Amino acid sequence: MKIDVLTLFPEMFSGVFGSSILKKAVEKEAASYNVVNFREFSNDKHKTVDDYPYGGGAGMVLKPQPIFDAVDHLKKDSKANPRIILLCPQGETYTQKKAEELAKEDHLIFICGHYEGYDERIRENLVSDEISIGDYVLTGGELGAMVVIDSVVRLLPGVLGNEDSPIYDSFSSGLLEHPHYTRPADFRGMKVPEVLLSGNHQKINEWRENESLKRTKSRRPDLLEEYLREKNKKVDHLD
């Protein structure tokens, strides 16, 4: 997967893209990253990328020209039709389902804004997706882009050591993930559930499913309601 990021602060991405799973994705040739300062595409002699909003108001608005020209430049070298993603508070709330959808693409372009907002023509005529990572406002779109990229790249084939890991992630099944335990089996009198030591994989899977349902009911009843509605199930034994 090819990932381009348009930002005014490219230095923010160096540590993220050079660490952990995102770094391993590059080493395994599953992903490549290209961070572009879209100020370089401004045709203004002062390289300005923002201006005062028509009609007045607080703050500055990102101009369309630098961003349109930067995207045009990136698309010229693309072998696929890229998804162009705008990070903004007005976008759809990001979910694991969206991550799985984006992980099927060959080329993603992320636009990270600053200031008061974007010229509306960017939204209406350039981007394919508008994404918000939550109901709060950040200084810019960079941190949101990092979140989305991390969640997408880890789903690419061959990136994680265990290919089953994404399948059992919280939200991938529609539920929160079950509890995990490791050695020692008895730590300060706190013991691992016997079923996990039994070697009976059928009973272990049943326990994990039940615990996942219980945890989701306790912590995210909204998710459980949706899960049961989709599965057309009734669960009466979770208390």
Tokens of 38: 């879209």
pLDDT at position 231 is 81
pLDDT at position 57 is 87
Angle between the N-to-C axes of helices 201-219 and 221-231, in degrees from 0 to 180, rounded to the nearest 10: 120
Averaged over successive runs of 10 residues, the pLDDT of the chain (239 residues) comes to: 98 97 98 98 95 91 97 92 96 96 98 90 97 95 98 96 64 86 96 96 96 95 91 64
pLDDT at position 32 is 98
20: exposed, middle or buried (Cβ count in 10 Å: 0-12, 13-18, 19+) = exposed
pLDDT at position 17 is 98
What is the distance between the alpha carbons of residues 206 and 224, in angstroms, rounded to a whole number?
A: 17
Q: What is the pTM of this model?
A: 0.87
Of residues 133, 136, 111, the one with CA closest to residue 49: 111
Q: Alpha helix locations (H) across the chain?
A: 14-17, 20-27, 64-76, 96-102, 120-125, 142-153, 201-219, 221-231
Q: Which domains does the chain have, with CATH numbers?
A: 2-153 (3.40.1280.10), 173-231 (1.10.1270.20)
- CA–centroid distance for 151 within its chain: 4
pLDDT at position 79 is 85
Task: Return the H-helix or E-strand segment holding 52.
Answer: none
What is the distance between the alpha carbons of residues 213 and 182, in angstroms, rounded to a whole number?
A: 21
Q: Rounded to the nearest 5 degrees, what angle is found at the Cα of 44, between the Cα atoms of 40 and 50?
A: 80
Q: Which residues are annotated as part of the binding site for S-adenosyl-L-methionine? A: 113, 133-138
pLDDT at position 58 is 85
**What are the catalytic residues?**
89, 116, 154, 169
pLDDT at position 143 is 97
